[in-house]
Amino acid sequence: MTLTCDTHVHMRGYLLALDHPHFALTDGDGGFRIGDVPPGRYRVTVWHEGWTIAGREPNGGFVWDAPRVLAREVVVPAAGAARVDDGDLAAAP
């Protein structure tokens, strides 16, 4: 869900309702860690809102380009950890 400001057209936020507890926000360097994931095969998806101005709305507000969505399948082993690096991700279908 996109949240917008009625006063400042450039201000917006996003609300995600997930049906699981496995998510993370990145730190200042773009890294993240998701703990307590049960062993198994998962799809890791990363999302970043668009940052290039693609046009203007009738009220003068900016229209931003599409978000970047990247994904990769990952296997979490019974012992140890799975690692995903940015070079491992591909554009999500």
Residue-wise DSSP of 31-77: -----SPPSEEEEEEEEE---SEEEE-TTS-EEEPPPEEEEEEEEE-
- Model pTM score: 0.66
Domains of the chain by residue range: 22-91
pLDDT grade, residue 93 (50/70/90)? low
pLDDT grade, residue 11 (50/70/90)? confident
Per-residue pLDDT reduced to its tens digit, 32-84: 889 899 999 999 888 888 888 889 988 887 888 888 888 889 999 999 888 88
87: helix, strand or coil: helix
pLDDT for position 9: 67
DSSP 23: -
Provide the residue count of the chain: 93
